[in-house]
Amino acid sequence: MPRIINQDVIAQIADFAGRGYSKSAIGRELNLDRATVRKHWPAEKEEKVEEAKPSIEEEFHLLTGKSELRWDIDEILGKIGDRKWETSELRKKGLLATESLRFLKEKVEKAGALDELDSISKLVKREQEKLTPILGEDDKLRSQRLEQEEKKRQEETERRIKGYETLRQHYIHVLPWYIPCPKYAESVVSEFLGDYGYDRWAGVLGSQLTLVNELEWESDVGELEPLRREFLNIVIGHPGEKHEIKDIMLQRRDRILTAHDKDATDAFDKWLNSEDDEEFVEGVLKLSGIFNRLAEERYIDIDELMKQEASPPKEPAKDKRSKADKARQTLTA
């Protein structure tokens, strides 16, 4: 009958094993087969090897080594920073280097010995050597890009300055038709520039002059407030200009109007007798629009008129429409 194996039997097996008995000898002593003895053979105890505790000097070098290596890694990562990278290939290399350095930084924290720290340090230096030409290439491309952008900005600035000066001279030239005070044309342009800035002044002034060209004698000049205000400031600030303005407008009347222009002549006479400064200014603007349209209809050169305004007219202007019609018929034939 098989023997019952209990804790006492297992303890006896362990006791004999501890005294150096072989499995066969224990089987004979306890009347057990060899397989049963092998099954309950006590596990061998692993010998605990105490780890050598590092000295204070080793701990100090390990601590300072970690700090220095962390600082080195952070310095390299700082060179990468949040740069946008000039090409996708450089960006890929930069991101890979960043991941590698962050991985090594984690390993620095876990390093428990100086030799392990030395291995990590070598890997950091290797990554730095790989990264240096990558950063150099990116810096070079970035410098070239910024140089090109700066060149474009300068060219754009030069174009804007040139365009501004062209527009400025244009409006200084045409403005005396609407505000017959040539010596104040430049100051009016400057006021519009100051009020509306480089991007808007020419558009606003041009729109104002376009509105003047559409005026009738009964028109409302409310939309002409910027231009009307500048004109009124000149008249109020320099009362003597009113006499010169009247002389210029009389010359325009004599050179543009004919005996058939009764409505325009009546409007002119009404304006000529006005004493209120605001009515005076509004009348000049309205007459400028009316005279401009009549001059275009009659093929009268306004630029030439403005040149002649310095000298009195020799004779009243004649209606040139019939002459122009004959010229067109000749060309058509």
State the pLDDT at residue 35. 80
Give the lowest-confidence range in 2-11, 284-293, 303-312.
2-11
Is it the case that residue 42 has pLDDT exceeding 90?
Answer: no
Q: What's the confidence (pLDDT) of residue 316?
A: 47
Please compute Rg for the chain using Cα positions: 51
Q: Is the pLDDT of residue 315 over 80?
A: no
Reply yes or no on whether the pLDDT at 258 is more than 60.
yes
How much is the mean pLDDT over the chain?
85
Identify the band that residue 51 occupies on the pLDDT scale cut at 50, 70 and 90: low
Measured CA to CA, the distance from residue 145 to residue 139 in angstroms comes to 10
Please give the pLDDT value at position 45: 64
If we measure between CA atoms, which residue out of 267, 299, 298 comes closest to residue 283?
Answer: 267
State residue 320's pLDDT score: 47
Residue 297 — very low, low, confident or very high, per pLDDT cuts 50/70/90?
very high
Q: Is the pLDDT of residue 62 over 90?
A: no
What CA–CA distance (Å, rounded) separates 14 from 42? 6
pLDDT category, 59, cuts 50, 70, 90? confident
Q: Label residue 90 by pLDDT band (50, 70, 90).
A: very high
| pLDDT value for 133 | 93
Per-residue confidence (pLDDT) for residue 2, from 0 to 100: 60
pLDDT for position 39:
80
- Report, as an integer, the average pLDDT of 301-311: 83
pLDDT of residue 47: 59
29-33, 41-45, 146-150, 325-329: least confidently modelled range = 325-329
Quick one: pLDDT band at residue 206, thresholds 50, 70, 90? very high
User: Phi and psi dihedrals of 42, rounded to 5?
Assistant: -65, 140
Q: How much is the pLDDT for 332?
A: 42
pLDDT in tens, 97-137: 999 999 999 998 888 888 888 999 999 999 999 999 999 99
Residue 93 above 60 pLDDT?
A: yes
What's the pLDDT tens digit per position in 211-255? 999 999 999 998 999 999 999 999 999 999 999 999 999 999 999
CB 274 within 8 A of CB 280: yes
Of the pLDDT bands very low, low, confident and very high (cuts 50, 70, 90), residue 325 is very low
Tell me the domain boundaries of the chain. Answer: 7-39, 56-151, 179-321
pLDDT above 60 for 306: yes
pTM of the model: 0.53
Q: What percent of the chain has pLDDT over 90?
A: 53
Contacts of 31 (CB under 8 A, 6+ apart): 3
How large is the average pLDDT for residues 73-78?
91
Q: C-alpha angle 286/291/295, rounded to 5°?
A: 155
pLDDT, tens only, 144-203? 999 999 999 999 888 888 888 899 999 999 999 999 999 999 999 999 999 998 889 999
Are 110 and 117 in contact by the 8 Å Cβ rule? The answer is no
pLDDT surpasses 80 at 298 = yes
